[in-house]
Amino acid sequence: MVDIQHNFLGIPDTPLKKADFALLPIPFEATTSCLTGTKNGPSSIIYASNYVELYDEEFGCEPYTCGIKTLLPVKLNYKSLKRMVSDIEKTASLYVKQQKVLIGLGGEHTVSLGLVKAYMKHLPDIKVLTLDAHSDMRDEYQGTAFSHACVARRISELGCPVFSAGVRSISKNETDFLNENKNVKVLFAHQMQKGKWADTLNKILPSGTYYLSFDVDFLDPSIMPDTGTPEPGGFLWYETIDFLKMFINRKDITIAGFDVVELSPQKFFTPSSFLAAKLIYKIIGLISVKQQ
């Protein structure tokens, strides 16, 4: 048996004071539509992260030395979805106000609503970029306004600008909502297939402080099959990393926090969970190398 620690990357526990990053597992699953299992996302990613190489050959360093604190999972009260969102907000606020880069580990996409609410309290001018196969702009889905399919709409209703890219599944009603709302912008996947989409997307994104919400179904199902609602025509590893590099390295942009959501591991360890763990470590690396 391999001795797996319950810290992200298997690193020794880091005191919060010494950590720039705080990783918050949120095993929230209440409204998944197709493949279930997002509640197992955080534990599967943390397990897989034990096998991620700590040294990053691109950055020439071990980015974990910036300090990554793995927090205890958020306690969720399943009696009320609204209450669950506010529990996430309350827990996240504790770390956002200490200016930690908070990493939300989903769980289904609804968790982003609680996380963004926490950020808006402390950084009212924050903007949200969501990379997602779906626009998540429904007013209601399967009888609830707190469905994963409504999360971007709920976030936009908080008054913060929402930019969404990679979308390749959207309803007529959501399209009407987009056309009527100026603080929501979508770059569709079909508009990103030709040429340098990373450039195009960066031109759309104004300067400012951002919260990045990464739904793993942004990626192509060939490299990310373990997700609730997989959609063909997604994005591959290097093009995604190239975009993140351009975005995070921009001098006029700061990333205050991010989440990785919607992993539904069909087994405890899958290549998808390893990919998600490596993606999180890459984003940590990009943010911490930029800060130095």
Q: Which two tokens stand for residue 152?
A: 């971007």
Q: Taking the complex as a whole, how short is the minimal distance between the CB of residue 233 and Mn ion, in angstroms?
A: 13
Strand partners, 21: 68, 101
C-beta of 133 vs 187, nearer to Mn ion: 133
Residue closer to Mn ion, measured from CB, 35 or 246: 35
Nearest residue to 52 (alpha-carbon basis) of 282, 286, 236, 237: 282
Of these, 217, 220, 226, 259, which contacts Mn ion (CB under 5 A)? 217
**Shortest distance in whole angstroms from residue 102 CB to Mn ion:** 21
State the Cα–Cα distance between residues 55 and 290, nearest whole angstrom. 17
Per CB under 5 A, 226 contacts Mn ion: no
In this complex, which beta carbon is closest to Mn ion, that of residue 87 or of residue 217? 217
Smallest gap from Cβ 192 to Mn ion, in A, equals 15
Question: Based on CB atoms, which residue is closest to Mn ion, 114 or 228?
Answer: 228
> Is 219:238 a contact under the CB 8 Å cutoff?
no
CA distances from 121 to 155, 161, 208, 263 (A): 13, 15, 16, 28
Helical spans, DSSP H, in 181-216? 197-204
Check residue 108 for interaction with Mn ion (CB under 5 A): no
Segment near Mn ion (CB under 5 A), from 39-47, 118-126, 214-222, 239-247?
A: 214-222
* C-beta of 100 vs 134, nearer to Mn ion: 134
Residue 132 in contact with Mn ion, rule: CB under 5 A: yes
Handedness of CA 66, 108, 250, 220 (dihedral sign): positive
Binding-site string for Mn ion from residue 133 to residue 162, where x marks contact by CB under 5 A and - marks none: xx----------------------------
Reduce the DSSP state of residue 134 to 3 states and report it.
Answer: strand
Residues forming contacts to Mn ion in the complex (CB under 5 A) are 132-134, 215, 217
